Copies of this chain bind each other. A is one copy, B any other.
């Protein structure tokens, strides 16, 4: 009898461990691309996930980072290379271009006009929606450092964290779905 109780207790503890380990109801997205089409896909997935009761976390890294710069907040004292990157990369979601068929901006303009006509939210609107839905956003510090972006140049967003790969991995380990976009 005592032995049975001991066995039961042991199994209970194993069950507890397993329950905690099992992937939670969360999705983690790496937004590596700065392209309009891919960023759009990322936001559609993230907001769709929240609509389904999941938690969503987005990690903006490399080309995705400049999508989160704020217009008109460029920092002054930058070295020449940072200035050059700053000028060549998009400033905010509104500047994003299609990965294909951009055709000097004409394809991107066409796609944006189509999105409006078909009632698909713009990237800026999706960003505002994500904030409202409580989607958490990480900005990769290594990318910011490489591209010479400073924190005061980035957008204001309620659920924003500056972090590195460890932050992503910690979230991803607890997520049911992880995508590199």
Q: Shortest beta-carbon distance, A69 to chain B, in Å?
A: 16
Interchain CA distance A142-B47 in the complex, whole Å: 15
Q: With A52-B169, A63-B37 known to touch, is A81 a contact of B179 (CB < 8 Å)?
A: no
Q: With A45-B169, A169-B52, A180-B180 known to touch, is A114 a contact of B146 (CB < 8 Å)?
A: yes
**Across the interface, which residues of B come within 8 angstroms of A145, CB to CB?**
118
Whether B88 pairs with A110 at a CB distance below 8 angstroms is: no
Whether B177 pairs with A172 at a CB distance below 8 angstroms is: yes
Interchain CA distance A72-B88 in the complex, whole Å: 36
Q: With A115-B146, A180-B180 known to touch, is A62 a contact of B88 (CB < 8 Å)?
A: no
A155 within 8 A of B: no
How does the 8 Å CB contact mask read for A1-42 relative to B, with 1 for contact and 0 for none? 100110110011011001101110101001010100110010
Chain A residues within 8 Å of chain B by Cβ, number = 63
Interface residues of A in 49-97 (CB under 8 A from B): 49, 51-52, 54, 61-63, 81, 84, 88
| Chain multiplicity (copies) | 3
Interface centre among A5, A111, A145, A177 (most CB of B within 10 A): A177
Q: Shortest beta-carbon distance, A137 to chain B, in Å?
A: 18
A128 within 8 A of B: no
Interchain CA distance A100-B90 in the complex, whole Å: 13
Residue of B nearest to A173 (CB): B176
Whether A166 pairs with B120 at a CB distance below 8 angstroms is: no
Whether A22 pairs with B18 at a CB distance below 8 angstroms is: yes
Whether B111 pairs with A146 at a CB distance below 8 angstroms is: yes
**Across the interface, which residues of B come within 8 angstroms of A166, CB to CB?**
48, 51-52
- Which one of B8, B32, B44, B176 lies within 8 Å of A41 (CB-CB)? B32
Could you write out 6 A-B pairs with CB less than 8 Å apart?
A1-B1, A4-B5, A22-B22, A63-B100, A84-B110, A115-B146
